[in-house]
């Protein structure tokens, strides 16, 4: 591997890792707030990607403008899904049962995408789709930079919201001790609903970022859910910073392995990391006590 190729892979790995971090943030948030394993998260990502593509098809405008519609829409769907479906599950078995429930939701979304837009592969063609910029000798596609920028902005926003807003404090209190949060006057069910909505809103942004640089088809979400689950387990279930660090490391690892192993085998890094985590440190590498409580 030449120095330039290595550097190119490294830069692409960072960009990929940033996107993974956004895609996994919602997934780890659901688990942190409600102990819900949300198999349908990647199906919502693909749905957002389809909506971005459809928006571009219909209006001819930049697919990123679809965020104005999809982010509030996904937030509302998330709140509704938590209120109407997730709260029906018994708290004692919520983690296991949520796998089944959200598996069904994922199948439903996949079916609906196929029903509405057909099974054909789709790809957004933009004036800047083929453009790239040179960065110290590495060629970086503009769409990848944009996707990374979207991810970085959303994660920074999520961080500020959780760390510094009144709602964020209430959400973190609910995650850390639900009963104590109720007793200081926090409406934990409402907060959990908004938390779920925010998780799904990140799927809207992630899906749109993904749509800029991917060929999409209805069953694509099965390809994504495995790596995303691996990322949140490695990062420590429920920990957003943990997921971000794990996403970055695995993204860079995948990108570097693509050169000697090819894309298919490079993908196995997620599963190797998953098995290694479960064997050596089941609570995850970066999650800390939050994950241990479970």
- Residues at the site binding another protein, with contacts judged by CB under 8 A: 166, 169-170, 172-173, 176-177, 179-187, 288-290
Choice between 68 and 183, CB closer to another protein: 183
Measured CA to CA, the distance from residue 252 to residue 255 in angstroms comes to: 5
Of 132 and 176, CB closest to another protein: 176
Minimal distance, residue 293 CB to another protein, in Å: 9
For the CA atoms of 13, 17, 268, 223, the dihedral, rounded to the nearest 10 degrees, stands at -120
- The whole-angstrom separation of Cα 47 and Cα 59 is 18
Shortest distance (Å) from residue 58 CB to another protein: 45
CA distance 266 to 172: 36
* Nearest residue (CB) to another protein, 73 versus 173: 173
Q: Which residue has the tokens 């688990």?
A: 31
Residue 286 DSSP one-character state? S
The rounded distance, in Å, linking the Cα atoms of 66 and 6 is 35
> Could you tell me which of 9, 171, 196 has the C-alpha nearest to residue 87?
196
Find the shortest distance in angstroms from Cβ 37 to another protein: 22
CB of 170 to another protein, least distance (A): 7
Nearer of residues 114 and 288 to another protein, judged by Cβ: 288
Q: Which residues pair with 132 in a beta bridge?
A: 141
- 3-state class (DSSP) for residue 287: coil
Question: Which is closer to another protein, CB of 182 or CB of 219?
Answer: 182
- In the complex, minimum distance from the CB of residue 91 to another protein, in angstroms, rounded to a whole number: 12
Residue 231, exposed/middle/buried by CB under 10 A (0-12, 13-18, 19+)? buried
Q: How far is the CB of 89 from another protein (least distance, A)?
A: 16
Pick between residue 188 and residue 208 the one whose CB is nearest to another protein: 188
Match 């098995």 to its residue by tokens.
275
Per DSSP, the residues of 120-172 read --B----TTTT-EEEETTEEEEHHHHHHHHHHHHHHHHHHHHHHHSHHHHHHH
Nearest distance from C-beta of residue 202 to another protein, angstroms = 21
Smallest distance, Å, CB 246 to another protein?
18
Q: Which is nearer to another protein, 187 or 223 (CB)?
A: 187
Nearest one of 177, 210, 174 to 189, comparing CA atoms: 174
| Closer CB to another protein, 95 or 182, in the complex | 182
């Amino acid at each position: 591997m030449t120095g330039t190729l290595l550097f190119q892979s490294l830069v692409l790995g960072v960009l990929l890792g940033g996107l993974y971090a956004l895609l996994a943030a919602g997934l780890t948030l659901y688990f942190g707030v409600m102990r819900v394993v949300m198999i349908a998260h990647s199906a919502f990502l693909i749905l957002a990607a389809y909506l971005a593509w459809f928006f571009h098809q219909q209006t001819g405008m930049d697919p990123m403008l679809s965020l104005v519609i999809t982010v509030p829409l996904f937030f509302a769907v998330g709140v509704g899904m938590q209120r109407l479906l997730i709260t029906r599950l018994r708290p004692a078995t919520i983690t296991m049962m949520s796998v089944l429930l959200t598996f069904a939701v994922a199948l439903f979304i996949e079916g609906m995408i196929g029903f509405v837009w057909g099974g054909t592969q789709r790809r957004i063609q933009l004036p800047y789709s083929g453009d790239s910029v040179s960065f110290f000798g590495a060629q970086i596609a503009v769409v990848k930079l944009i996707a990374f920028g979207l991810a970085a902005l959303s994660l920074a926003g999520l961080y500020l919201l959780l760390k510094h807003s009144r709602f964020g404090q209430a959400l973190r209190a609910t995650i850390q001790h639900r009963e104590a949060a109720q007793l200081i006057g926090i409406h934990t069910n409402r907060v959990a609903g908004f938390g779920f909505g925010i998780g799904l809103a990140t799927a809207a942004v992630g899906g749109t970022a993904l749509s800029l640089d991917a060929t999409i088809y209805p069953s694509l979400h099965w390809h994504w859910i495995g790596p995303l689950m691996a990322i949140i387990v490695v990062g420590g279930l429920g920990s957003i910073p943990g997921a971000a660090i794990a996403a970055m490391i695995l993204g860079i690892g995948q990108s570097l392995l693509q050169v000697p192993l090819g894309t298919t085998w490079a993908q196995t890094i997620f599963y190797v990391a998953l098995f290694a985590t479960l064997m050596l440190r089941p609570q995850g590498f970066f999650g800390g006590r939050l994950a241990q409580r479970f």
